[in-house]
Amino acid sequence: MVHIMNPLGKMVMALLFLPLVESMAVNGLNQQVQRDIAGSAGGQALDLAFVMDCTGSMGSYIDTARKHIQAIVDEIVTSSNTTVRLALIEYRDHPPQDNTFVTKTYNFTDSVFMMKIWLNAARATGGGDGPEAVAEALFKATKLSWRPEATKITVLISDAPPHGLVPSQDSSFPNGSPTGHDPMKIVRDLAQMGVTLYIIGCEPAILPYKDFFMALDYLAGGQYVPLSRPELLVDVITGGAQEELSIQKFEKLVQVEVQKTIAAGGTVDKQKISQTVYNELVNSGATSTHLLLNNATLEGTTDAAKQIASATSMAEVRLHFHMATAKPYTYPT
């Protein structure tokens, strides 16, 4: 099945598309199709932001992360006919845990070359205690210059929890970010803005907190991917990007159909509209290769993650979050 069941912003869309997607699957269409809506539609906009932990514990992961970001960027830029813009947010921690920077933001650029320069300049150092400024970094992502018409994707690369998740590991901010930014609220803001959040987990360091991160991407319609599986990483993120573009395209068609129906004084029947849009797509030869999730073996959202996702604040998450689901990890200093 496609991963479009975002419990928030995309719920209505998902309801509209489900019968459509199912009928395409039943007809085995996606096996035959060669043309991709993202490609054939042309000129669509994609805003892709990477949010990367740049603290000392990332030392062993940062080169791999850099390489994979580069691969994702290259693949998306070459494989889809879209106007892609890229942004990078590096994050470390709040003083006194780190005195270099909390976040460093490179706002959207359409230059792949610029993105390469930013990536190459990123260094993993500092960070102090285990938890890092995840909340502040995600907050900065909501403040990027997203284009309203663009497909919006944020990829968070992390090996450590935000402040306020496991107070016993938090030497300065056991109750959460000192700026008051709360990841549980911010991911909902991202979802409302139409931003899909993918998370690349640097394992094994991230493992004790994986359920928490899965809850974040569950709320913002994305997917958790371990950094250790690069082949899945590029597939999922690029596949995801194109799938989003396809859905965006469908959304427009469905809107047109809904408006036509209303203008004609009819009532909106989602089954009927799905069928009409489906027929139109088949007749025009436009189909998508990305409607079914690729056959890569990815872990689905865990029950623990879904439970965490029901919380609206870190304070509430702390009630549900059990280190029992994971082994504590000693961070290198």
Candidate list 78, 145, 267, 333; residue touching ligand NAG; CB under 6 A:
145
The pair of three-digit structure tokens given for residue 32, joined into one six-digit string: 């035959």
Question: Closest approach of Cβ 73 to ligand NAG, in Å?
Answer: 19
Asked whether position 221 contacts ligand NAG by CB under 6 A, the answer is no
Asked whether position 35 contacts ligand NAG by CB under 6 A, the answer is no
Asked whether position 78 contacts ligand NAG by CB under 6 A, the answer is no
- What residues between 85 and 114 interact with ligand NAG by CB under 6 A? 105, 107
Asked whether position 295 contacts ligand NAG by CB under 6 A, the answer is yes
Residue 59 contacts residue 113 (beta carbons within 8 Å): no
Asked whether position 143 contacts ligand NAG by CB under 6 A, the answer is yes
What's the CA gap between 13 and 6, in Å, rounded?
Answer: 9
Crossing angle, helix 270-284 and helix 11-26, to 10 degrees? Answer: 50
Q: Which is nearer to ligand NAG, 232 or 247 (CB)?
A: 232
Question: Closest approach of Cβ 193 to ligand NAG, in Å?
Answer: 13
Q: Which is nearer to ligand NAG, 105 or 325 (CB)?
A: 105
Q: Which is nearer to ligand NAG, 121 or 296 (CB)?
A: 296
Site string for ligand NAG, 257-286 (x = CB under 6 A): ------------------------------
Region of 200 (left: φ > 0; alpha: ψ -120 to 50; beta: rest) is beta
Residues that bind ligand NAG (CB under 6 A): 39, 42-43, 81, 105, 107, 140, 143-145, 295-296
